[in-house]
Amino acid sequence: MTRPDDTPRPPGELAALEAIWLPPRGFRLLTAVNNTYIGMYYTGAAVLFFLLAGILALVMRAQLAVPDNDLVGHDLYNQLFTMHGTMMMFLFAVPAVEAVGILMLPNILAARDLPFPRLSAYAFWAYFVGGTAFFCSLFFGLAPRGGWFMYPPLTSFEFSPGISEDFWLLGIGFIEISAIAGAIEIIVGIMRTRPPGMSLDKMPVFAWAMLVFAGMIIFAFPAIILATALLELERAFHWPFFIAEKGGDPLLWQHLFWFFGHPEVYIIFIPAAGMVSMIVPAMARTPLVAYRLVVLALIGTGFLSFGLWVHHMFTTGLPRISMSFFSAASMAVAIPSGIQVFAWIATIAAGRLRLTVPSLFVLGFLFIFTIGGLTGVMVAMMPFDFQVHDTYFVVAHFHYVLIGGMVFPFFAAVYYWIPTVSRRPLSERLGTICFGLLFVGVNVTFFPMHVTGLIGMPRRVYTYPSELPWADLNLVSTIGAFTIAAGVAVFLVDLILNFRPSATGDAGNVWKAGTLEWLPTGYYQTRSIPHITSREPLWEQPGLAEDVVAGRFYLPGAPTGRRETLVTSAVDARPQYILTLPGPGWSPFAAALFTAAFFLLLTVKLVPAALVCGVVAIASIWLWLWSSDPGPGAAVDAGAGLTLPVNVAGPPSHSWAATVALLLVLGTIFGCLVFAYAFIWTVNPAAWHRANVLPPTAWPLASAAVTVLAAATMVASTLLLRSYGRPLARAGFHLALVCGIPLMLGAPAIDIAGRLQTGMRPVDHAHGALVYTVAGVQALLACTVTLMTIHVLARSLCGRLNAERRATFDNTMLLWHYTAAQGLVGLALTHGFPLLAGSGLP
């Protein structure tokens, strides 16, 4: 159905739709979950952390303005650069692009909301509460000091006693959870809530960019999750993963950190590139040149960026041939980046670029990012890198890349998209001044740093003697930094004067752009969900906006009487079913608040209070899940002559897709753990073998057998659920689940008991620490699936689960089987591999 349905809409339909989507008022705004509100909160919080981290940078620049300065001491300076880097990367850059995704994607896809609104709300509040507390650690002198990449042994218990580094390790924990939650939401949202007709070849480039971004988070963040967990175990319990004397290796941290850290740069660049690919065609008033090659470039950058991590480790003494591969890969990634730059230039050349504020920021981005890219190719060459490693040349390089590659596109996007959420656009005059100050400021600050680095100034020094020839260049950089601050101040003035948030009376399509976010919207987003036939529907489909507003397409009302959106097939975007969505609620807010409290209280060693908060967080999540999974409903009229089912279970469902994404995260965490195990075995074989004491084979065999039995109980439950209507089958279903729990918990317990009786202890050696970590991770997963299984049982006993209403069961079943599989692989790794590698039994 590509033609609109002209049948008049029934009276009262629009009013009912508005009432259903009406946001909460007053303090209950904390309970809002829909993307317009969460997206705005998220973006606002990211900008707040940008300002706070920027102020820290200004203090550092003031300190370095003149030689022998005593404005701040070395200890505070260490805290400043650590917090500046950490906040800019974890509290600004990633959340900011994720925030723009959450705010804009439903508009761009003409969806009513993303498929898991409460997950977005949870992700935001966990990030905001935790991030604020993390920042406040500065005021108590408790901020971390080890630099944003936290290299041990400096950051381990011996050289960094106290809790400052724990703030980083546990503080980053909730941000990782938040980022992954947002990524899963974004993947499922893009794949399943596109408007009918928007097949993959018609998907806006920003959606492609966010898809690649979210996929990269799924595979990159697990490495930092594992790394932070290992370092925290080392700090808290002295498990020596990174201590060379005990068979560990500090380079393990560097591998894990940069396996996350390098893709992280592209994780923030790719969405920014997606924003640019939306802005350039709108400003040049012509479709993006080489759309398919730009999609290729996004996919290519996403993959190739995982092959670069060792280029941060060129000075660590790895085999030269290994480093050569990474050096070559670092240059190869310039190819897809280059494709995009040429596509933007060609688009500008093909159309007539209007020199608006978004255009200026895009041009600034092209200039600054290209310089950063070129110095990137320079440092990709090992001999050059050896010279400038840990100098201000590198500081200049990554600020050009990050500010050019993310901050300028972010400002461009804010100026470009603000008319979709504000009654007024921002000022062109103030925006131009802001751009001018930022552009000049960035170049004045960071260009001299190339030279400062080349003449020998190391990064992270809190002062320098006047005899060294660094003073003039540093003064210039400081002047530049305050120019940037002036530019940001102009931006804030512009926001105060012109930003008037509104979900119902926005400024509209002020740029005459062609994509769907410029359709008129209300609290419910678009009145009806259009069928599109091109990549720029507002340019190619005349009268589309009027037809959408008149309700002539899909879902012009709320046929289920609840919040809802349309789910379409992943590749061709054919309508599949109507998904009902939750409204405002306290549970995501409470869950986030207590998740953040759990991590922060653990940091300050208030373990009992942390455990209480953890329990309340789990209870809140349980409460939230209790009202989810409403089950399939009767088919309803979806408008435009289409009848669709309501909610579905099984593999076609959005919930199944999200669980699969979660399993990919878990699988990658485990993959990183396997890497850690293999790495320690590779680098220190003699010490590894000395510590290799295996229990009798009966122990792992018993554990494996119990694991297989646990999986069998879940297979039995799945079969019995099909006949749930019969009392006997229902009783058998319950019995199978109840029997499965002790088996699932028992398998890692047997493994750990077997290890303990050999006398092997995790504090003695890195090998032992890793063996117990594999078993511990398995035990943690078993506890998680136990909680989920109890939830399934409770739902079943309360009549909230049956053969059709089974999404909760399906999700538990998927995680259950994954846990069993990981358990078997873990046993093979920690018992089978040492046998193969030639160990001695006790």
Partner 1 sequence: MTAHHPIRVLPFLFAGLIIWATRFLFVYAFVALACARGFAEGAIAGIGIVPVAIVVATVAALAANGWVIIRGAVRARSGAAEADQHDSALFIGYVAAAVAALSIIAIVWETLPALVVPVCTA
Residues that bind partner 1 (CB under 8 A): 191, 199-202, 292-293, 295-296, 299-300, 303-304, 306-307, 317-322, 324-325, 327-329, 331-332, 335-336, 569-572, 682-683, 685
447 close to 396: Cβ distance less than 8 angstroms: yes
How far, in Å, CA of 467 to CA of 74, rounded? 20
Angle at 585 between CA 582 and CA 590, to 5 degrees: 130
CB of 195 to partner 1, least distance (A): 15
CB of 293 to partner 1, least distance (A): 7
CA distance 167 to 178: 17
Minimum CB distance to partner 1, residue 678 (Å): 8
Q: Minimum distance from CB of 700 to partner 1 (Å)?
A: 25
Residue placing its CB nearer to partner 1 in the complex, 237 or 386? 386
The CA distance from 220 to 654, in Å, is: 23
CB of 358 to partner 1, least distance (A): 28
| Strand-pair partners of 646 | 578, 633
Closer to partner 1 by CB, 518 or 688: give it: 688
Distance of closest approach, residue 840 Cβ to partner 1, in angstroms: 19
Q: Which is nearer to partner 1, 154 or 293 (CB)?
A: 293
Pick the closer one to partner 1 by CB: 322 or 504.
322
Which CB sits closer to partner 1, 319 or 727?
319
The residue (of 44 and 685) whose beta carbon lies closer to partner 1 is 685
Locate 566 and state its tokens. 């349309």
Q: Are 513 and 107 in contact (CB under 8 A)?
A: no
Nearer to partner 1, 573 or 649 (CB): 573
The nearer residue to partner 1, 384 or 586, going by C-beta atoms, is 384
Q: Which residue shows structure tokens 């936290």?
A: 150
Distance CA 756, CA 744 (A): 19
CB of 532 to partner 1, least distance (A): 12
Question: SS3 for 456-515, per residue?
Answer: CCECCCCCCCCCCCCHHHHHHHHHHHHHHHHHHHHHHHHHHHHCCECCCCCCCCCCCCCC
Contacts of 139 (CB under 8 A, 6+ apart): none
The secondary structure of the chain in percent helix, strand, coil, rounded to multiples of 5, reads 70, 5, 30
Choice between 68 and 572, CB closer to partner 1: 572
Bridge partners of 391, per DSSP, are 458
Shortest Å, Cβ 759 to partner 1: 28
Separation of alpha carbons 739 and 730, rounded Å: 14
CB 762 within 8 A of CB 239: yes
Instruction: CB nearer to partner 1: give 213 or 599.
Output: 213
3-state secondary structure 380-443: HCHHHHHHHCCEHHHHHHHHHHHHHHHHHHHHHHHHHHHHHCECCCCCHHHHHHHHHHHHHHHH
User: At closest approach, how far in Å is the CB of 177 from partner 1?
Assistant: 25
The minimum distance between CB 570 and partner 1, in angstroms, equals: 4
* Strand-by-strand arrangement of the 575-580 sheet: 564-568, 575-580, 643-646, 633-637
- Interatomic CA distance for residues 202 and 214, integer angstroms: 19
